[in-house]
Structure 1
């Protein structure tokens, strides 16, 4: 299991929080190849109105995303979990090439295989234009906030 990604399902509260924090950390690197390794080779994705499968397409999608969404910084919070599934709420901020800032809000549904790799990701996302003065996030989550901000609706 050289490609395994702990923690593994079935998730408990601590392991679900750790999985969400690991995802946030990886996405904040803005490294499409690194991020893609957390997904199965044939992972199924829905992101907004896009549907695709597999790591190669994940890398293509994320590369284009981070070329368009500049200075991207993300916060995720655990919403609910059960067995091999996790629901997440998130916000991220970014600006376009013209310097216009946005905050994107969304929800994700994740399903994992026994190796802790995500085999399904469904994301619903809305973008809101903000003034640069309204920004909340200026880099990765500070150490004293790691694992914080989780709303548990279901265990």
Structure 2
């Protein structure tokens, strides 16, 4: 009986978090993102609020570090991040799922896992595809030194 109660509490907590997240920022469907990519008349502009290159310093082999790149929709149409991917499997980016209104700010986050990576400097790239003009692909770069 005790195990069932614990499971119910955990399940309720997970459901509550999911419900709150969905209310705060509704995700776009894949079809809606595809339609936004094709609608070039509604492209906007993006401003990277920090540098698009970050030096994360030194870490020990086996550590995981997170990097964040802040942006702002600097145009007059909704900004849709259609895809986010990394240059290799050791870096896992998070893709924002909601559209950003003009003037709204957001963050692209990625985690770099140094486990099994060679010692020395590592340079990685996170690619961001968005409904932006004049280019739809943006590169975010970081480096880390593994000791």
Q: Which has the larger Rg?
A: 2
Determine if the TM-score, normalized by the shorter chain, exceeds 0.5. Answer: no
TM-score of the superposed pair, with normalisation by structure 2: 0.29
TM-score of the superposed pair, with normalisation by structure 1: 0.28
